[in-house]
Amino acid sequence: MSLKETVTPVKEDVVHQPDFQFAAWCLRQYGINRGVYNTIDDWLFRFGMKDIVSRRMMIISFLTQVRQSKLNHENSEKIKFGKGLLVAALTRFLNKECV
């Protein structure tokens, strides 16, 4: 599965926004705070995604998948991660995407 197939369609300018604005967009769209956004961004960077646009597209894909998955038990617009669940979800997502 290619990156294009896994990414939720968004306006192209969203991924080109300055970091603060992109993080604020993630808050509005997914309800995640800056700390969660920074953790996801850091994990993807350390995983080898150096290109910022590709990394942001992957962030959107990850958050969309989490929203649609069983992890989002309340089925709400806001995504909540319990203690240790963010890292576990990221690990599963990255393993699935890179297989």
- Give the Cα separation of 20 and 88 in Å (integer): 25
Q: Give the per-residue pLDDT at 7.
A: 46
**pLDDT greater at residue 86 or residue 7:** 86
What are 30-66's pLDDT values in tens digits?
999 999 999 999 999 999 999 999 999 999 999 998 8
pLDDT at 86 over 50: yes
pTM of the model: 0.82
* Cβ neighbourhood burial of 12 (10 Å; 0-12, 13-18, 19+): exposed
Q: Delimit the domains of the chain by residue range.
A: 11-97
